Structure 1
Amino acid sequence: MTAEPKRASEWTIHGERVVDDTRRAVLSIADVELPDGVRFEQYVLRVPSAAMVIVVDDDERVLMMWRHRFIVNRWVWELPGGYLDPAEDPAMCAARETEEETGWRPRSMEKLVSFQPMVGTIDQENVVFLARGADFTGAAPDVNEAERVNWIPLSEIQDLIEDGSIVGAGSISGFLAVQLLKAQGKL
């Protein structure tokens, strides 16, 4: 098997040195050369894959969590989800995280979209699933995850994105995929 020829606009990586390596992230600095010969160092962050789920009930409401994100110092609405454990199936992760974080067990899981949140700096696949319905397990939501859990009408999601109450790439990407399904009559 032969390697594909290098394209004219492809960057050359001369090496990458690890700065910090933990269970949840590897930070490194890559020695990069542009096609015109300019060379520079680029920070690279490699993070375990994550999975989340948009749970939609029969009334077209979405299960969301109100939580504080200290990095941006804001309270925001987010979908339940989290990091995949090693070798964990993304759908199983999304369902497990939903139940742990909200007390609701998704009834079904259907892959909506997979994306990379910041391809210029971060390598972290994110997978968003759609669950049609959920059953309450009786468990209280994890106080470390969210202040509250609510069912929000799908019709209000755009307003929450516009007013900055929903800012996460996973939530927004997932809702865009749901809007496409609705437009196609598949939701």
Structure 2
Amino acid sequence: MTRTQWTIHGEHVVDENRHIKLSTVDVELPDGVKFTQYIARMPCCAMTLVLNDHREALLMYRHRFIIDKWVWELPGGYVDHSEDIAEAAAREVEEETGWRPRSMEHLVTYQPAIGTLDQPQAIYLARGADLTDTTPDINEAENIQWVPLNQAVAMIDRSEIVGAATVIGLYRALSLPA
């Protein structure tokens, strides 16, 4: 099998800050066709599926203005530059929900939109969590609930859960031993 690669002729940064680098890239396909592609590069995100002993998932209800929709999601956020990814995932759970995970186990890392976006998404599993005296960030969630796993999966079908990390995490949890 012969592998052919695209040729990159240059990249021009359009805008950049600590959360995103937006560029245009001049590309040539193996057949000679040339075009300009927009790409975005973002830091790694770490999310955590927290399951308790009753196989309930810790979910946050929040408004996502980009899609103008209220949705349920796993807690998570950006990994700081030199931060351990599992530690970042656990930190985000506590900051956003007030619960501290008891354990952290890597489930999967994926890229959500590899044709345009470079942003690794790491999902961790926490088996159990302890309520802390941390007050959850009011800007993060309207509501925080433990939702039975089977109900959470049904929420995907009703478009109450639409974020890729939450969908992937919940479907992955179905294959975990009880």
Aligned to 1:7: 3
Q: Give the 3-state SS of the residue equivalent to 1:180 in structure 2.
A: coil
1:29 is aligned, of 3, 24, 27, to 24
TM-score (norm 1): 0.92
Distance (whole Å) between structure 1 residues aligned to residue 63 and residue 161 of structure 2: 12
Instruction: Give yes or no for contact 1:78–1:166 (8 Å, CA) kept in 2.
Output: yes
Shift of residue 52, structure 1, vs aligned partner: 0.5
Shift of residue 139, structure 1, vs aligned partner: 2.5
Aligned to 1:99: 94
Gaps of 5+ in 1: 1-5
Distance (whole Å) between structure 1 residues aligned to residue 37 and residue 166 of structure 2: 28
Deviations 1:110-130 (A, max 9, x none): 000000010000000010000
Deviations 1:139-175 (A, max 9, x none): 2321100001000000112210011010001111112
Aligned to 1:163: 158
1:118 partnered with 2:113: yes
Deviations 1:35-57 (A, max 9, x none): 11111000010000000100000
Aligned to 1:3: none
Question: After the TM superposition, which parts of structure 1 deviate over 3 Å for at least 4 consecutive aligned residues?
Answer: none
Deviations 1:80-106 (A, max 9, x none): 000000111110001000000000000
Deviations 1:11-64 (A, max 9, x none): 111111100011111000000111111110000100000001000000110000
Aligned to 2:146: 151
1:42 partnered with 2:37: yes
Q: Which amino acid aligns with 2:146?
A: W
Distance (whole Å) between structure 1 residues aligned to residue 78 and residue 105 of structure 2: 18
1:88 partnered with 2:83: yes
- After superposition, residues 32-71 of structure 1 pair within 5 angstroms as 32-71=27-66
Aligned to 1:73: 68
TM-score (norm 2): 0.96
Q: Give the 3-state SS of the residue equivalent to 1:172 in structure 2.
A: helix
Gaps of 5+ in 2: none
2:132 is aligned, of 129, 137, 145, to 137
